[in-house]
Amino acid sequence: MLPEELKSALSKHKKWVFVYDWEFFSMRIHDELVISVLEDCQFLYVEMIFDVVQSELQKKNDRLKFWDAFFKLLSQKRYDDICGFLDNDRGLALVFTHSNSSDNNIAWTRFCECILSKTGFNMLKWDGINYAEYPPKEFFVSNNET
pLDDT at residue number 103: 56
Classify the phi-psi angles of 138: left when phi > 0, otherwise alpha if psi is within -120 to 50, otherwise beta: alpha
Packing angle, helices 60-74 and 106-119, rounded to 10: 130
pLDDT at residue number 60: 93
pLDDT at residue number 17: 86
pLDDT at residue number 104: 61
Q: What is the pLDDT of residues 40-78, one digit of tens each?
A: 888 888 999 999 999 999 999 999 999 999 998 888 766
Q: What is the pLDDT of residues 16-49, one digit of tens each?
A: 888 999 999 999 999 988 888 888 888 888 999 9
Q: What is the pLDDT of residues 89-125, one digit of tens each?
A: 999 999 988 776 555 677 888 889 999 999 999 998 9
- Per-residue CA distances from 4 to 17, 52, 94, 120 (Å): 17, 15, 20, 21
Class of the 4-136 domain? alpha beta
pLDDT at residue number 136: 65
For the chain, the structural domain boundaries read 4-136
Number of Cβ atoms within 10 Å of the Cβ of 53 = 25
pLDDT at residue number 108: 83
pTM, two decimals, is 0.82
Round to the nearest angstrom and report the end-to-end CA distance of the chain. Answer: 53
pLDDT at residue number 14: 83
Least confident residue range of 9-13, 58-62, 73-77, 84-88 = 73-77
Q: Specify the higher pLDDT residue, 140 or 15.
A: 15
Distance CA 146, CA 143 (A): 8
